[in-house]
Amino acid sequence: MTNNERISGAMLDPAANAAAVLLRLGFAIFALVIPSAALMSRWVIVVLVPIGAVLIILAALLRSDPARLSERSFALLASAPGLSSLMLAIWAAISLAWTPIPTEAMEKLSKTLGVVILGFFAVIALPPRMRATNLHLITIGVALGATLILVGSVSALAERPLLRFPAATPERVTVLLTVLGWVGAAWMIIKNRNRLAIALIALVIAAIVLGPTRAALLPLVASLIALSIAWNNPEQAGRLIGYGFGGLILSLPLLAGLGAVVGVEGMDRWWAMILADPQRIIAGRGFDAGNAARAAGLFTGDQPVSLVSDLWFELGLLGAGFFALVIVATFRLSGRLGYELAPAAIAAISAAVTFAILDRAATQTWWFNGLAVFAIVLMSVERGRYRTVRPRAMLKSGSDGRTAGSDGL
């Protein structure tokens, strides 16, 4: 069969055409729409993520490869991050047996697992090769979101506001840009457009520094430090940073005790709650027990609250251990993505983990949706290149002969 006959057959295949359209729509939601539209409403990301994931999954089903999806799902679940995540989900479900308010806890767990499962299947439903025209949307989406924040912030400082956003949406988008910006920059490096990569990161940094919220500032600093460590040897850096964050997560109660000794505000009461019921430090108080404790007034406003502190309170040492394993395995896997993508992936994940350690907003549904967006966009870029590793010198020469072309859709 000649090339012309193959092209004609593909053009006449309605299933292939429909799959291509659905894939582009789904990916455009993640890469282009969410980074900017999430500024307009708190619920945009919660509504659009399931829609985008379903579109990508439907595109894979139309390509008539359900067997490949099954193989990928089992392979991913059998990996270190997959098994650790599965054990964490199972332990959270078991803890419903002793959680204070099981009905509300079950509802929250089902929503969280629903987002995780949709994101999981959307990742494995991505085609082996993604088109460059699709992946350019990442850079455009990140730049658009950062520009909107800058316009709103600078005009407000000049007392001539051009854009007004609902409360909390700039914070959410800046945190999201802290992880997505690195992926967009990595794609520009893959395309040998290093200046555009630097300009994109500079734009994101400006949006975070000049924006109306500082929630993304420390995650940004953590990502920059991680990038500097991972730039020359990402595989070793992935192991080092992963074990560092894993150890930090596991040592949180000890750090709380140290904070109570030196008089850090809020740590003394958090440590007192641990000592009041020390047997709970192994199994925890049950999923969503943190919200029940806050509703009952057991937590005061000055106590440190984050995803990790709630994890310790609700799921205990076992839950924190499974979560630490997920973090370590994810960093190690990211370090093996090659010189083009691995440093950016490690920087982005460092920002996400830092936010989870420091901010209570990381316990909310929008953040889990944001992580699904990040995972899908990251793996799309990984499948937009045809080689896994390219020597660093070739980033400048562009002599590797790569053509980041098409996925066949």
pLDDT at 310 over 70: yes
Q: Which residue has the tokens 């985008």?
A: 52
What span, in angstroms and rounded, lies between the C-alpha atoms of 144 and 162?
Answer: 15
The ranges assigned to domains in the chain are 13-253+303-397
Read off the tokens for 44: 């945009």
Summarize pLDDT for 357-383 with one digit per residue, the tens: 888 888 888 999 999 999 999 999 998
User: Quick one: pLDDT at residue 212?
Assistant: 82
Q: At residue 159, what are phi and psi to the nearest 5 degrees?
A: 60, 30
Instruction: State the DSSP code for 48.
Output: H
Among 71, 93, 76, smallest CA distance to 322 is for 93
Instruction: Compute the CA torsion angle 194, 197, 198, 203 (nearest 10 deg).
Output: 160
Summarize pLDDT for 50-91 with one digit per residue, the tens: 999 999 999 888 876 666 677 777 888 888 888 999 999 999
pLDDT confidence bin for 304, thresholds 50/70/90 = low
Read off the tokens for 163: 């854009």
The CA-to-CA distance between both ends of the chain, in Å, stands at 19
Residue that wins the pLDDT comparison between 223 and 65: 223
Among 167, 200, 168, smallest CA distance to 183 is for 200
User: Quick one: pLDDT at residue 267?
Assistant: 67
What span, in angstroms and rounded, lies between the C-alpha atoms of 280 and 129?
Answer: 48
pLDDT confidence bin for 354, thresholds 50/70/90 = very high
**Cβ neighbours around 289 below 10 Å, total:** 22
